[in-house]
Chain A
């Protein structure tokens, strides 16, 4: 059996990709939180600090969670004196730098929570990066 056998190539590839999914090798997330909403509201927003620990760009392409009907990456922008939200199809994280999702800027728009979320509740949201990295992140609901 030769080292160039497809099974080995696949194994080596898999082993290279697995470490990328761990925090120290790829992207780490800090201060992940979701703003608690008034009762009966169906739109929530999630915030966090993303850090790209690698020496190359990482691209956030999607987010998903079993706790919500849908999750989208949004950014609040001000145009013509009006604030509005735009969908961001992808966000590039520059090497060895942080990007902050914060009120009035980038946020995860969380639509139709499957249960009522109150301050202190944990919710897992999967952040999906180009290349297949999926980072499950625990967000805390805060008032």
Chain B
């Protein structure tokens, strides 16, 4: 049996040119290949997944925090460990800044629940950063959240075949503390670029909120 889940990928987001204050001078955040910032962030609707400690991971878990989401699977030798290592460095950079990393979380979403149990996810994410969360769910649950982000993935399970192929978007999705899909980082990822952009985005949003 061939189980295939395909979600339409529409990452043709909007490049937004925003102005921001840096070192006392106005600078332009030009459209580029690092990040797409949405001018009108879309609020997420209810979803339910399970984290690496078997706790429910739902809308309430993303409210009040900035969340970086990455879809992947633990049997992935190249893109997934590369991206998680980059995100761990980005988190370090953000943690060292004056605002710190108290209000951010990083979530690795496995699209391969067949092989990625809670225990396996814990071992996996802990290796990169003990603050990272590993979550997964059944196909419908995963499809719900991935669909809201237009995150594409495809799992080609073949019975008896241990190493079936899994395809997934390599983008990193940024949700804001109001549980809205705020921005997306485009691969190839760079820790310095991600942390710098995030600081600007967070400043802009804090400015808007006050």
Report A's interface with B, CB cutoff 8 A.
Answer: 35, 37-45, 74, 76, 78-85, 103-104, 107, 109-111
Report B's interface with A, CB cutoff 8 A.
Answer: 9, 11, 74-79, 81-82, 120, 123-124, 126-128, 152-154, 163, 165-170, 187-188
Q: Report the nearest B residue to A83, measured CB to CB.
A: B170
Given A83-B79, A84-B165, 14 more pairs with CB closer than 8 A: A35-B77, A35-B82, A37-B81, A38-B81, A38-B124, A38-B126, A38-B127, A41-B124, A78-B187, A82-B167, A83-B170, A103-B82, A104-B78, A104-B170
Q: Which of A45, A74, A83 neighbours the largest number of chain B CB atoms within 10 Å of its CB?
A: A83
Min C-beta distance of A71 to chain B, whole Å: 11
Residues of A within 8 A of B153 (CB): 82
Min C-beta distance of A137 to chain B, whole Å: 18
**Do residues A74 and B127 form an inter-chain contact, with CB atoms below 8 A?**
no
A-B contact pairs, 9 of them (CB 8 A): A38-B124, A39-B123, A43-B77, A45-B81, A74-B78, A76-B78, A81-B169, A84-B165, A103-B78
**Do residues A44 and B77 form an inter-chain contact, with CB atoms below 8 A?**
yes
Query: When A78-B170, A82-B9 are in contact, do A45 and B187 touch as well, CB less than 8 Å?
Result: no
Which 5 residue pairs across A and B have the least CB separation, nearest first? A81-B9, A38-B127, A84-B167, A103-B82, A45-B77
Interface of A is mostly: strand
Q: How far is the CA of A82 from the CA of B187 in the complex (A)?
A: 11
Query: When A82-B154, A103-B82, A104-B187 are in contact, do A109 and B77 touch as well, CB less than 8 Å?
Result: yes
Residues of B within 8 A of A84 (CB): 165-168
Residues of A within 8 A of B120 (CB): 40
**Do residues A43 and B154 form an inter-chain contact, with CB atoms below 8 A?**
no
Query: When A81-B9, A104-B82 are in contact, do A110 and B77 touch as well, CB less than 8 Å?
Result: yes
Q: How far is the CA of A80 from the CA of B120 in the complex (A)?
A: 29
Residues of B within 8 A of A74 (CB): 78
**Do residues A45 and B78 form an inter-chain contact, with CB atoms below 8 A?**
yes
Q: Report the nearest A residue to B171, measured CB to CB.
A: A81
